[in-house]
């Protein structure tokens, strides 16, 4: 099986110490990326660690594809305990950093401990430098990147950094790279902030040699020549379809269609797009550099989830207003989905839907924890009662745009996902709209055959995140091509994904997260039976726990529940 190469580098920012160790056995079993990080976190991080404490680790990892020239591979993984959900969480970001991480020669970089002084950690193949940066206290993402380029010659593609959101431990703060690409969802930016780390930089000339098959370049050529709507409109291209199907959340999830969708849909975004945008080595170029000269805003996006959270869910029907919200989140290092949904919850509580000035003011206040922003920075799950609104979250994570009340398999996916209500954990929506070929599609309503399919989708997405391969490669990477890329049987590859999902669940079980957390804030007929079927397919206990016999190792594993 083709996998990442290189040792683990552990960086203790409290003690200012580093060490390396061989992890070839982990790499061989878990490929790289999310898989390797999950295994390392499961075995090294205490099950009872405070997400914002020194015992939590933040792991940056690459996979075997980051040494290739293949499209859809410009991504890096980050893993740690989420301050938003309390569970183990992985996030990956696109952009251009992944090759620089690989250039250090390490397959995984673990940041642990906590510094009393604000630091930049410079990771190179020659060693690690700890730079105290008190002057960057409160700096925005662009200001931080400008400093690193002017003083160290490191462009933003070498940088993973936080803005004020991360420094102020906003529970949904992002880690940003290439300025506008985010390790979003779940608050890993707050983890870095709690460690006193403003930025981690990566540079070197020690990229491992991993031989790739010649046929892999067929994917690259097809990505370059394909006529695909995402090249013009990105993911927001699905908004009209969702709206027509009564599946676009609006007015803080009170409605499922939005009369102003035309003002924030794919065509509206395409009108503001001024050049092509892509990730490292990718010819698909589905990113959305946009600007509006009259408003003086230039950003990248918004994508569909952002257009929902700051658009329809907030009662906003002007794409320029959504672009401004998107740009503010990137500047301050905030997840656009959770920020938009949390702002929308506040708008609902105050009956202020459509107030774009208030929206932008609230983003600023959240990032700096000023006034009501200090409350909103805790996330919907912790504050919904005080606001007097519904708790539209699963495991503490608020919902993405793909509507589980319409797409029942996606609803089940939200409920069981170890990350919470995140659409990318299984991308089940793609088979229910559908966005896949007819022979792979499933009817949106009901659960017939979906638990089994969901397990397969979760395992495949975990493999992608271990590779690391972009989810939007789905039209270009068949099972046969997975076998080609990873030099392994497809079923063996899915088994890797299965192990990753199971280790995440086992870790979370030891933190008290089980069946009672696999819940939706709405009723779906047949949901409980589907949940039972999902556990049965996975071989888990009826209470949503993983039998200890399924896993080995771990930091303080409790006795078996089976």
> Does 129 share its domain with 175?
yes
**218 belongs to a structural domain:** no
Nearest to 363 by CA among 321, 403, 402: 321
Q: What does the pLDDT look like over 430-470, one tens digit per residue?
A: 999 999 999 999 999 999 999 999 999 999 999 999 999 99
> Does 390 share its domain with 523?
no
How far, in Å, CA of 162 to CA of 119, rounded? 11
Percent of the chain surpassing pLDDT 90: 97
**Which pLDDT band, with edges at 50, 70 and 90, does 553 fall under?**
low
Residues in the chain: 562
For the domain that residue 387 is a member of, what is the CATH number?
A: 1.10.569.10
How far, in Å, CA of 127 to CA of 131, rounded? 13
pLDDT of residue 558 exceeding 60, the answer is: no
**468 belongs to a structural domain:** yes
Q: What does the pLDDT look like over 378-431, one tens digit per residue?
A: 999 999 999 999 999 999 999 999 999 999 999 999 999 999 999 999 999 999
HSE toward the beta carbon, residue 188, CA cutoff 13 A: 28
Contact call for residues 427 and 471 (beta carbons, < 8 A)? yes
For the domain that residue 441 is a member of, what is the CATH number?
A: 1.10.599.10
**220 belongs to a structural domain:** no
Choose the final residue of a domain: 144, 171, 203: 203
HSE toward the beta carbon, residue 389, CA cutoff 13 A: 26
> Does 163 share its domain with 27?
yes
**Which pLDDT band, with edges at 50, 70 and 90, does 555 fall under?**
low
With vertex at residue 284, the alpha carbon angle to CA 280 and CA 287, rounded to the nearest 5 degrees, is 75
**Which pLDDT band, with edges at 50, 70 and 90, does 552 fall under?**
confident
Helix, strand or coil, per DSSP, at residue 394: strand
Q: What does the pLDDT look like over 338-371, one tens digit per residue?
A: 999 999 999 999 999 999 999 999 999 999 999 9
> Does 148 share its domain with 241?
no
> Does 128 share its domain with 23?
yes
> Does 432 share its domain with 349?
no
**2 belongs to a structural domain:** no
> Does 373 share its domain with 422?
no
Contact call for residues 492 and 479 (beta carbons, < 8 A)? no
Burial class, 31, CB count within 10 angstroms (exposed 0-12 / middle 13-18 / buried 19+):
buried
pLDDT of residue 561: 36
| The total number of structural domains that make up the chain | 3
Q: What does the pLDDT look like over 462-511, one tens digit per residue?
A: 999 999 999 999 999 999 999 999 999 999 999 999 999 999 999 999 99
> Does 254 share its domain with 389?
yes
How far, in Å, CA of 266 to CA of 286, rounded? 12
**210 belongs to a structural domain:** no
Do strands 108-112 and 8-12 pair parallel, antiparallel, or not at all (unpaired)? Answer: parallel
Q: Please give the DSSP secondary-structure letter assigned to residue 51.
A: T
Question: CB count, 10 Å around CB of 549?
Answer: 9
Mean pLDDT value across residues 14-20: 98
How far, in Å, CA of 311 to CA of 307, rounded? 5
Choose the final residue of a domain: 398, 416, 450: 398
Q: Which ranges of 181-256 does DSSP label H, i.e. alpha helix? A: 188-194, 217-225, 230-233, 239-244
Nearest to 288 by CA among 354, 338, 336: 336
Contact call for residues 405 and 430 (beta carbons, < 8 A)? no
Domain limits for position 427: 408-550
For the domain that residue 142 is a member of, what is the CATH number?
A: 3.60.9.10
HSE toward the beta carbon, residue 235, CA cutoff 13 A: 19
> Does 412 share its domain with 365?
no
> Does 393 share its domain with 538?
no
How far, in Å, CA of 120 to CA of 130, rounded? 6
Mean pLDDT of the chain: 96
Choose the final residue of a domain: 354, 369, 398: 398
Is the pTM of the predicted complex or chain greater than 0.75?
Answer: yes
pLDDT of residue 200 exceeding 90, the answer is: yes
**558 belongs to a structural domain:** no
> Does 192 share its domain with 329?
no
**452 belongs to a structural domain:** yes
pLDDT of residue 554: 64
**93 belongs to a structural domain:** yes
Strand boundaries in 53-180, DSSP class E: 58-61, 76-81, 88-93, 108-112, 119-124, 127-132, 159-161, 175-177
> Does 240 share its domain with 388?
yes
């Amino acid at each position: 099986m083709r996998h990442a190469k290189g040792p683990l580098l552990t960086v203790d920012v409290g003690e200012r110490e580093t060490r390396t160790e061989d992890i070839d056995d982990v790499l061989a079993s878990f490929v790289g990326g999310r898989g390797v990080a999950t295994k390392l976190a499961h075995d090294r991080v205490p099950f009872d660690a405070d997400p914002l404490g020194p015992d939590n680790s933040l792991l940056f990892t690459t996979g075997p594809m980051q040494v290739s020239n293949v499209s859809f591979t410009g991504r890096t993984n980050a893993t740690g305990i989420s301050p938003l959900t309390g569970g183990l969480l992985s996030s990956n970001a696109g952009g251009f950093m992944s090759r620089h991480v690989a250039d250090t020669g390490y397959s995984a970089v673990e940041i642990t401990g906590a510094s009393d002084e604000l630091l930049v950690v410079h990771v190179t193949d020659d060693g690690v430098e700890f730079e105290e940066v008190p002057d960057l206290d409160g700096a925005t993402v662009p200001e931080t990147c400008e400093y690193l380029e002017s003083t160290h010659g490191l462009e933003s593609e070498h940088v993973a950094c936080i803005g004020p959101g991360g420094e102020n431990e906003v529970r949904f703060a992002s880690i940003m790279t290439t300025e506008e690409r985010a390790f979003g969802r779940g608050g890993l930016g707050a983890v870095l902030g709690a460690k006193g780390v403003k930025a981690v930089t990566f540079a070197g000339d020690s990229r491992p040699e991993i031989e790739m098959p010649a046929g892999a370049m067929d994917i690259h050529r097809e990505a370059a020549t394909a006529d695909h709507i995402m090249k013009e409109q990105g993911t927001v291209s699905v908004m009209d379809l969702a709206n027509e199907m009564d599946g676009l959340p609006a007015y803080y999830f009170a409605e499922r269609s939005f009369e102003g969708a035309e003002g924030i849909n794919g065509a509206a975004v395409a009108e503001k797009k001024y050049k092509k945008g892509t990730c490292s080595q990718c010819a698909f170029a589905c990113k959305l550099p946009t600007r509006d000269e009259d408003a003086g805003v230039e950003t990248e996006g918004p994508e569909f989830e952002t257009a929902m959270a700051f658009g329809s869910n907030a009662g906003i029907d002007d794409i320029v207003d959504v672009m401004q919200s998107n740009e503010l989140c990137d500047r301050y290092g905030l997840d656009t989905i959770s920020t938009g949904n949390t702002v929308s919850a506040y708008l609902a509580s105050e009956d202020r839907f459509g107030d774009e000035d208030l929206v932008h003011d609230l983003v600023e206040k959240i990032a700096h924890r000023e006034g009501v922003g200090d409350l909103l920075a805790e996330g919907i799950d912790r504050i919904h009662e005080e606001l007097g609104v519904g708790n539209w979250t699963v495991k503490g994570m608020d919902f993405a745009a793909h509507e589980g009340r319409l797409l029942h398999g996606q609803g089940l996916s939200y409920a069981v996902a170890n990350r919470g209500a995140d659409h990318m954990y299984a991308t089940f929506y793609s088979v229910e709209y559908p966005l896949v070929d007819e022979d792979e599609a499933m009817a949106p309503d009901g659960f017939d055959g979906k638990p089994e399919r969901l397990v397969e989708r979760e395992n495949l997405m975990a493999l992608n995140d271990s590779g690391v391969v972009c989810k939007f490669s789905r039209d270009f990477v068949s099972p046969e091509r997975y076998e080609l890329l990873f030099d392994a049987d497809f079923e063996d590859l899915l088994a890797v994904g299965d192990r990753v999902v199971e280790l995440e669940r086992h870790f979370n079980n030891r933190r008290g997260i089980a069946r009672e957390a696999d819940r939706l804030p709405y009723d779906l007929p047949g949901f409980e039976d589907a949940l039972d079927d999902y556990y049965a397919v996975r071989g888990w206990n009826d209470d949503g726990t993983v039998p200890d016999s399924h896993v080995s190792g771990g930091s303080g594993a409790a006795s078996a529940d089976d």
